[in-house]
Every structure is written in structure tokens, then in C-alpha cells.
């Protein structure tokens, strides 16, 4: 079926198709077992930000699960650029895109039987975009996030490597549901089996004490691309960063805290376990980092996210 030129494009298993045609069969292992690795990139001024870094991490994830796909990183980059070139002009002026690449383990052999074993082992590969829903984060640049510790713990590295980004997310859904039972505005931050802080469902975690940034060791967290940008910006600004194990008591004593993630870049943490972090407002180091990030991408991030959020809400 030919793609509709007035609809966003997607790319599925080697073909460009209309976004509405990009569907997986119920037999796909991404649905049957959640067997999928993924990446998300976002645009600034409708240009992909650090796409190569995300593609390299996708390659790392594929190596970790042992799946081979018949596409190189340069080919996936070209596909991603074609999606941007077609889909960005369909957005309202000045709005931004999110880009997803995901790979699943193929089809569930149980549904088809031994005769289709090799066909079922062929991974599903998809790239698609979506309008960045800035309204999900815009208010939190000023009000901050509330973090709660649920009873659910981080999956140990012995079970799933933290070096890969995957879509096995049920434990995060349950963890965030637990957090919201105590505070409807809260997000879960998981502890590892030693009782140290790790990450949230959507972001890497940082706290600040006496002008120094502290962040968990990579052994129990995803080494985020946005986390890496924080390291680069902090070095440029002369702000020291310490990578170490962090007990919850250290967040209670912190002067400020924030998280990093691809869609929103940085968001402050203003409440932990129902009590204010620092003075309960976004802190100065968070503000310095967000300003520096904005200079890196050529815009004022908070203002742009709030502008797009407002325009999207008016049009809904």
C-alpha cells in the first residue's frame, strides 16, 4: 500500500509506509513477551539531537540480546533523516518531533510451528516519529517532580543488563502506580537490592550537596545520553560530579535534585517522600545546566517547551 503524502511516514521492516499502517501482528514477540529493545531521540529546531549516540546505544542493546538486523547504523541514520524531512513539515511551526527506533525478537514460534522457525527468528525493525507532547513536562520545569520509593526494586544486572534500553516496562508501570497511590503527582524512584537510589522510569537521577553533583553508579542504571550531556555541561561550567552509591538519606539532605531524559532534557525534583528537597524549588545548579543546554541547542528550553505545550493544548 502506497504511503499517504499528507500523513507522517513510518518505516517498518525495510519499507516506508504511512504512520497509520505501521502495525505489528499479535504474534510479534514485542507484544507476546515484551521482547524489544528501543531508542528515543528528540529534535531541537526540527533537527535530531545526538542521533548517532542513540544509534550506537541501540547497537549495544542488540549485541546484548544477540539479535542481528540487516541494517547498518548509517542506514538507520539515513532512514531517520528521511522521516524527519517528511514528518517535520507536517507539524505546526516551531514544534518538535520524537523519534523511536525499536527492534523485537521476531514472531512467536508457538503461533506458527516448527516449519516457520527461521522466519519467526527474523527481528522486527521499526522507526517512526511523533509530535513531542511538551504539555506532559512543561509545568514541572517550575513546580518540579515529586519522587517516591515503591516496594518494587530495580531489576538486578544479573537479570537484565543495564547497558541496553529495553521495553520490559511492567515493573515500572507497577512502581509508578504505587507512587501515585501516596501522591497523585509522584514518580517512582527505585532502589537496588542494596537499598541505594537508582533511577526513575524515564530519567537518570542527580542530587546536589555543597555545590557538587552526585549521581548513581552505572551498574544499576541505564547510562542515558542525556546523563552524558549533563557530564559535558557540568565540566564546561566547572561543576564537579561524583559517581557513587547514593542512599535515600542523602537525597533528604540534598540542597537540590534533578533528573535527565531525552524528551525534557532536565527537570528539577522538589519533593521526596512527601518532604521538600532543599527549599522545595528548582535549584541554581539545575538552572545553570538547563541554561547551558539551551545554548547548546540554540533555544531556551523551558520557554520553548511551555510555548509548544500551550499551543498544543489550545488546539485539542
Class of domain 9-132: alpha beta
Task: Show me where the domains of the chain are located.
Answer: 9-132, 140-311
CATH topology for the 140-311 domain: D-amino Acid Aminotransferase; Chain A, domain 2 (3.20.10)
Which grid coordinates are listed for 286? 539545575
Q: One digit per residue, pLDDT tens: the chain, 316 residues?
A: 567 778 999 999 999 999 999 999 999 999 999 999 999 999 999 999 999 999 999 999 999 999 999 999 999 999 999 999 999 999 999 999 999 999 999 999 999 999 999 999 999 999 999 999 999 999 999 999 999 999 999 999 888 888 889 999 999 999 999 999 999 999 999 999 999 999 999 999 999 999 999 999 998 899 999 999 999 999 999 999 999 999 999 999 999 999 999 999 999 999 999 999 999 999 999 999 999 999 999 999 999 999 999 999 987 6
Q: How far apart are CA 209 and CA 211, in angstroms?
A: 6
Place of cell 516496562: 169
- Summary count for the chain: helices (H), strands (E): 10, 15
Segments of 5-156 assigned E as strands: 9-12, 15-18, 36-44, 47-48, 97-104, 124-131, 145-148
Place of cell 522538589: 270
Amino acid at each position: 500500500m502506497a504511503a499517504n503524502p499528507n500523513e507522517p511516514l513510518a518505516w517498518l521492516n525495510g519499507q516506508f509506509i504511512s504512520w497509520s499502517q505501521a502495525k505489528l501482528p499479535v504474534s510479534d514477540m514485542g507484544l507476546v513477551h515484551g521482547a524489544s529493545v528501543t531508542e528515543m531521540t528528540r529534535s531541537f529546531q526540527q533537527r535530531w539531537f545526538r542521533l548517532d549516540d542513540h544509534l550506537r546505544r541501540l547497537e549495544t542493546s542488540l549485541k546484548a540480546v544477540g539479535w542481528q538486523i540487516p541494517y547498518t547504523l548509517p542506514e538507520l541514520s539515513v532512514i531517520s533523516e528521511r522521516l524527519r524531512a517528511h514528518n517535520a513539515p507536517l507539524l505546526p511551526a516551531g514544534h518538535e518531533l520524537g523519534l523511536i527506533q525499536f527492534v523485537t525478537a521476531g514472531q512467536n514460534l508457538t503461533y506458527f510451528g516448527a516449519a516457520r522457525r527461521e522466519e519467526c527468528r527474523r527481528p522486527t525493525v521499526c522507526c517512526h516519529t511523533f509530535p513531542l507532547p511538551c504539555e506532559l513536562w512543561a509545568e514541572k520545569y517550575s513546580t518540579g517532580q515529586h519522587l517516591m520509593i515503591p516496594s518494587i526494586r530495580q531489576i538486578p544486572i544479573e537479570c537484565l543488563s543495564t547497558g541496553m534500553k529495553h521495553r520490559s516496562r511492567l515493573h515500572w508501570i507497577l512502581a509508578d502506580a504505587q507512587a501515585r497511590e501516596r501522591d497523585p503527582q509522584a514518580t517512582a524512584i527505585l532502589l537496588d537490592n542494596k537499598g541505594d537510589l537508582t533511577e526513575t522510569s524515564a530519567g537518570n537521577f542527580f542530587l546536589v550537596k555543597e555545590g557538587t553533583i552526585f549521581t548513581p553508579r552505572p551498574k544499576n542504571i541505564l547510562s542515558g545520553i542525556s546523563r552524558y550531556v549533563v557530564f559535558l555541561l557540568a565540566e564546561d561550567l566547572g561543576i564537579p560530579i561524583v559517581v557513587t552509591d547514593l542512599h535515600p538519606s542523602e537525597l533528604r539532605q540534598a540542597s537540590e535534585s534533578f533528573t535527565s531524559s531525552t524528551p525534557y532534557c532536565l527537570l528539577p525534583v522538589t519533593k521526596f517522600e512527601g518532604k521538600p528537597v532543599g527549599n522545595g524549588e528548582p535549584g541554581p545548579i539545575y538552572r545553570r545546566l538547563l541554561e547551558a543546554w539551551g545554548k547548546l541547542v540554540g533555544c531556551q528550553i523551558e520557554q520553548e517547551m511551555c510555548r509548544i505545550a500551550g499551543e498544543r493544548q489550545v488546539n485539542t
